[in-house]
Every structure is written in structure tokens, then in C-alpha cells.
Chains A and B, each alone.
Chain A
Amino acid sequence: MESDSGKSVDARGALDDIRRARGWVSERVGSPWWFHGGLGLLVAQQVVVNGVAEGLWTLVSFGVLVLGATVLVLCARRATGVTPTWPRGPRANALMAVRMMVALGAIWGAALLGREAVGAVAALAVGSLLATVLLGFAYDSALRQDIAEGSDAG
């Protein structure tokens, strides 16, 4: 039977291996460049529709947002060969929350502004697009860091 000290040396090598594997995976996760742009456009169209239209159109727009986001996720999964888990570490969790709040805030804000402020609605839509893209890249970066540091179940 293997001694505990022999096992310890082996264990250190295994822990180094775990760190390397996490580092490698952290480089693999993250969305393709087009993912955040696509998501930004979907959020922006919902902001515009909520600002200038009402009733059925907002529902249609919401459907486009949900369907489009699903298609983007499936395409990203296919392109990267990896399906990231839902936010997993402290940084990724925080950024995902901020990202959702910004999108919901912009959609809600556009509804408050209404048709009388088309210019402001358009600015809000552009702002939400940019914020979605920038926060998306920040989220990817946070996710990579969380995985590399092992902020996960493993």
C-alpha cells in the first residue's frame, strides 16, 4: 500500500494539474465576438419597441428577445464546444446581475419615456446596446477568472 508521504507528493502534482486544467478551461469559456453584439441588438430593439409602441408589439418584441437569445446561446455553444454553467463565481454572479438590471432598467425607462421622447428612447437603446456589449465582455473575463481560481463546485 502506498505511504501517506508518497501520496502527498503525488497529491501536490495532482493539485498542480488541476490548476493547469482550470487555466486551460478558463481560456476556452467565453462567448464568440458576435454573441454580445447580437444580444445587445436584441435588448436595444426591445427598448425601442417599449418606448414607441405598446400592447401586442411589446409582446412580439419580447418574443424576439427570448427567441433570439436562445438561438444565440445555441450557436455559441456549437461554436465553442462548451456550455458554461449559469453564473458560478462571485465576480461573474455580480456582473450577470448588473447586466440584467441594466437591460431591465433600459426597457422600463423607455416605457416611461414614451413616444413623446423618441430621441431619448433612441439614445437609451444605443446606450443599452453598448452596455450589453461591454458588460458581456466584462462578464466573460470575470467568468474566466472565477474558473481559473476554482470558484466552483470543483
Chain B
Amino acid sequence: MSAEPGPRFDEIIHAPNRLRICVALAATAETEFSVLRELLGVSDAVVSKQLRTLQEAGYVTLTKPTGRGGRVRTWVSLTGRGRQALQGHIAELRRLTRHLPAAE
């Protein structure tokens, strides 16, 4: 088992939509594109753009097995690198808020 990554702010993950995507992917082995679109409540183009950014960073992988009738479903999963970056980012968010007074 790998050690917990230390706190590290990640600009790529911090963008709200990408953060939500990464959190959703961390909770699953694979998630379908349409589920992520539903989570974000945005258009396909916006989801695609966010996924492309995450993919270029090496944080997610996309697979497109051809379904019955030729329908292509895109499945997205978090890579080991993406998981580490998310853990580090969440640890940093916790570190940053440690000294703040409790929210109302």
C-alpha cells in the first residue's frame, strides 16, 4: 500500500467542475460520461473540456467500448496519479482550513 501523499495544492484539480469530477471518480472504479454530465449539470462540451484537461495531466483515462447497436459509451476512471493528486489536494484544503473558525 502506498503512503498517504502530503498536502499539495493542485491548480488543475481545484477548478470546481474538475474537483467534482475527481471526487466522483475517486468513489468509483469507472463512471460513465453521462453520469458526470448529470453531476455537473452542464453540457457535453463542458464535460469533455474538463476531462481533456484532466487527461492531459494524466489524472484520468477514458475508454470507449462500442456498445450494442453501435452506441458508444465513454467510461472514465481516475488514474493512480490522479488519485494521489486528489488526496494531496484534499489534504492541502484541510490544512488551509484548519485554523479557520467553524462555519455557521
Contacts and interface: CB of A to CB of B under 8 A. Distances in A.
Interface of A: 4, 7-9, 11-12, 14-18, 21-22, 24-26, 28-29, 77, 80-86, 88, 147, 152-154
A14 B19 contact: yes
Nearest to A88: B27
A12 B103 contact: yes
B93 interface: yes
Contacts of B12: none
B28 interface: yes
Contacts of B103: 12, 16
Of A14, A24, A82, the most chain B CB neighbours within 10 A belong to A14
Interface in B15-36: 16, 19-20, 22-24, 26-32, 34-35
A19 to B, nearest CB: 9
Given A83-B28, A83-B29, A15 B35 contact: no
A104 to B, nearest CB: 24
Interface string B58-72: 000000000000000
Contacts of A85: 27-29
A154 B16 CA distance: 16
B72 to A, nearest CB: 13
